[in-house]
Amino acid sequence: MSEDSEEAPIWLDTTYVAKILNNYTHNQLNEIILFTKEPATKKGENYASCIHLIKVSYTTKADPEAIRKVTLIVKSRLENELFSQIEEDFNVFHRESQVYNIIMGKAEELLRNVNDATRFGPKAIYVDERVIVQEDLKQQGFAIEDVKVGLDFDCCRLILEKLAKFHAVSMVLYRENPDLFRHHLPSNVSEHSSPLHDLYTNAIKCSIEYCQTNPKLQHYVPKLKIFGEKIIPKMINVFSRSQTDRYHVLNHGDMWVNNLMFRKDAGGNVVEVLFVDYQEGFYGSPGIDWNFFIFSSWQKEVFQNHFEDLLAIYHATLTDLLDKLKYDLRIPTIEDVRKSILNKGFHAYFVSKGLVTATCLLPILINENSDLADPLNFLLVTDEAVENRRKVFDNPKYGERLEVYLEFFVNNDIL
């Protein structure tokens, strides 16, 4: 039997759960005694998929008298017509399923061959054309940090060490078999009209309006208006590969607080981090991951005082692992990494990602009011939607970070 929440998909029924459990038990499922399903995320925490939590009580053929229990995360394709278009533009489902089905296993196999026990994300239990089912990391003691607070140096260090390994193994795997990344080569932002274009256009307008009302930010408005006029071409250029790029990697693509799960020891110290939500992965400059991570998730103090420290940590980890894996192409220097992050090319391509993150996406990510988290508020141009996104952008915490970020962009000739 099942107990359905009103928001849970009808198709996620006993028959479908039996397919998942058969895979989980290696075809040893005897009977499903009970399962429940409920949304696994709060409103505004995920825009690219439907995520549900299922709890199942079941028995196996080997021991039909013993009732076992398991909790799993079920990610499925979007069913709303508007957001289905975004999913189609991004090809997010195939990107993520390729990571869980093939890339992650091969990546971790490479690491085991050099006695490295690193794991990058949750284990995939079952994948088909509709769903990706994963283990529930919360059952292992993992939790998300508060996006409104941001990440301190210790958290950022741990993340960048793991990100460096993720990037390094992707370089080796691409060298061996580029076809593994066929879903990650197309751009994440299309030249064709898309709801994403509306999101960026609406958001930069709100950012400019907010700066106009903030005395500390008013002098940036003329430059932001110029940037806003070309925001779509700039975002298209972010997701391009160029011969001038220092090196290419598989970017996670959505590296921010809510896609990072931390496990702490008894003393409250962070000891492990895992990445979730590989939907926006792109094979290109590592500056994409760096810029989104910096301007969405770092605490202001970390950005102001520890950029060079974290850059050195990332580079040391990257080069060490590439050496161990006997990577036979040129290994990036620390200056290569720096230039990938602070690229000052024709459109400052990859830092444009950071500028868009800081001005357009950050207020959405740190939104204090869950009632305003409906994605339609950032896509539509109705009076209600416009007013709601203005409320989201009118956030003092956003203003505090924007003061630091816009100064950085101007000083580095990016804005």
Residue by residue, DSSP assigns 236-250 as: HHHT---TT-S--EE
**Contact status, residue 58 vs residue 29, Cβ threshold 8 Å:** yes
> Which residues 6+ apart lie within 8 Å of 70 measured at CB?
21, 24, 55, 56, 58
Q: pTM score, two decimals?
A: 0.89
Q: How confident is the model at residue 148 (pLDDT cuts 50, 70, 90)?
A: confident
Residue 169 phi, psi dihedral angles, 5° rounding: -65, -30
Question: Rounded mean pLDDT of the chain?
Answer: 88
Q: Give the least confident one: 123-127, 155-159, 172-176, 197-201.
A: 197-201
Residues 288-329 pLDDT 10s: 999 999 999 999 999 999 999 999 999 999 999 999 999 999
- The beta-strand segments (E) located in 22-78 are 29-39, 50-60, 68-76
Domain limits, the chain: 2-76, 84-411
Burial class (CB in 10 A: 0-12, 13-18, 19+), 151: buried
Residue 3 has pLDDT above 50, yes or no: no
What does the pLDDT average to over 327-350? 77
Where does 84-411 sit in CATH, by number? 3.90.1200
pLDDT of residue 4: 41
Q: How confident is the model at residue 230 (pLDDT cuts 50, 70, 90)?
A: confident
Amino acid (1-letter code) at residue 270: V
Q: Are 140 and 263 in contact (CB under 8 A)?
A: yes
Non-local (6+) Cβ contacts of 315 within 8 A are 164, 332, 333, 334, 337
Residue 6 pLDDT more than 50? no
